[in-house]
């Protein structure tokens, strides 16, 4: 983008090279085997990418939404699954601790998370409470200098790999009386329940977390009891923007595959790219990608400049992944039978992108957020 500064351009090049060399060659293998690319994850730590938004005092890069989205975009081009796990670690865990935890908690947890020695996750969703996050039922009860936590979390990215889990619980009967704890994997009473097998993002481990009288020190409470709703709202915008960045990377990969195939593949004695219907799909694909890039990075710049609003973040989250699903389908159509086969990565890209219409708030929830705010603003005073 024309408004990237020198640091952001260098970051973009580094991430592009890393994606091509470390993620792309093994993306299909990890997808087929549902395995986590731990080698690449460790190397991300060596490159200083695992604390992209964290304070340099703890080993972070001290950058913002623009930089984080650049990483998602470039990594998403090569392997969306690995990028989703990266997002869960850097945005859902590290950025939440950076934004909400005490100096003592930051000093204890951030250095190892940022170096890659530890893997992070966030635990909010439960089997009966996804979009209705305020309704979660996992409960923490004070017991002297500890809290006793009981309940289950579901659909947790990085679950079986996580050393540190930023966890939302209920600490009172009022609906908004929710509290946040930093849970360590060796906490007594805490365990990984079972892995979940998914349509897409198969190289990003997802599973269930179980709390059976888990004993957590009071020192691991983030902020005060009842602060969780504020914590949730504080991080949602950057989560929604950055997950849409993964979709932008997927779209760019689809276009590049189509351009190559349209020049190489011949039908009726002509390159496929000579046919107007193919040209139409490619032209619309390229145009949509340019619009998405300008939209998302403009919103990132506004976010980094302090101009933040949940409506525009919701618009990014609603609009971009939905557009990219169509781009994936058009890319498969251009490739015909080969596109539908597993010989090419296009079917994986389609499967992976579908998650971005569900995670971090479904399309339907984004519609509610956007429409309610616009209707409220338009209401006569």
Please list the active-site residues: 239
Euclidean distance between CA atoms 250 and 352, whole angstroms = 9
For residues 85, 118, 26, 329, the Cα torsion angle rounded to the nearest 10 degrees is: 0
Angle (nearest 5°) at CA 90 between 65 and 231: 80
Q: Residue 119 in 3-state DSSP?
A: coil
Which H helix or E strand runs over 271? strand 270-271
CA 83, distance to chain mean position in Å, is 7
Q: Are 205 and 159 spatial neighbours (Cβ–Cβ below 8 Å)?
A: yes
Place of tokens 């869960």: 88
Euclidean distance between CA atoms 31 and 204, whole angstroms = 9
Residues β-bridged to residue 141 = 148
Q: Are 157 and 92 spatial neighbours (Cβ–Cβ below 8 Å)?
A: yes
Phi, psi of 5 (to 5 degrees): -85, 175
Q: Residue 32 in 3-state DSSP?
A: helix
Give the single-character DSSP code of 20.
I
Place of tokens 């930089």: 67
Euclidean distance between CA atoms 244 and 306, whole angstroms = 20
Q: How far is CA 80 from CA 262, 333, 354, in A?
A: 24, 21, 11
């Amino acid at each position: 983008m024309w408004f990237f500064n020198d640091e952001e351009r260098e970051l973009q090049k580094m991430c592009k090279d890393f994606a091509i060399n470390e993620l792309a060659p093994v993306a299909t293998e990890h997808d087929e085997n549902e395995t986590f690319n731990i080698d690449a994850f460790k190397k991300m730590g060596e490159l200083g990418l695992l604390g992209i938004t964290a304070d340099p005092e703890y080993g972070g890069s001290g950058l913002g939404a623009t930089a984080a989205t650049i990483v998602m975009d470039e990594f998403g081009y090569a392997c969306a699954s690995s990028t989703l796990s990266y997002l869960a670690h850097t945005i859902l865990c590290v950025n939440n601790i950076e934004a909400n935890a005490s100096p003592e908690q930051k000093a204890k947890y951030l250095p190892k998370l940022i170096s890659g020695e530890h893997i992070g996750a966030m635990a909010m969703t439960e089997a009966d409470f996804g979009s209705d996050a305020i309704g979660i039922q996992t409960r923490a009860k004070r017991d002297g200098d500890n809290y006793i936590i009981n309940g289950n979390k579901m659909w947790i990215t990085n679950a079986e790999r996580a050393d540190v889990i930023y966890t939302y619980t209920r600490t009172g009967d009022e609906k908004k009386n929710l509290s946040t704890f930093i849970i360590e994997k060796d906490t007594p009473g805490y365990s990984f329940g079972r892995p979940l097998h998914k349509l897409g993002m198969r190289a990003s481990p997802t599973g269930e977390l179980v709390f059976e009288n888990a004993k957590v020190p009071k020192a691991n409470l983030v902020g005060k009891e009842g602060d969780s709703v504020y914590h949730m709202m504080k991080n949602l915008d950057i989560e929604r923007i950055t997950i849409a960045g993964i979709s932008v990377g997927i779209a760019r990969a689809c276009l590049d595959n189509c351009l190559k195939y349209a020049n190489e593949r011949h039908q009726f004695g002509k390159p496929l790219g000579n046919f107007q219907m193919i040209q139409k799909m490619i032209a619309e694909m390229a145009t949509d990608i340019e619009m998405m890039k300008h939209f998302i990075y403009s919103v990132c710049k506004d976010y980094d400049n302090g101009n933040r609003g949940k409506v525009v973040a919701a618009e990014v989250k609603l609009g971009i992944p939905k557009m990219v699903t169509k781009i994936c389908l058009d890319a498969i159509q251009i490739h015909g039978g080969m596109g539908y086969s597993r010989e090419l990565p296009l079917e994986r890209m389609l499967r992976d992108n579908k998650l971005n219409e569900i995670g971090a708030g479904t399309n339907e929830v984004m519609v509610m957020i956007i429409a309610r705010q616009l209707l409220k603003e338009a209401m006569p005073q």
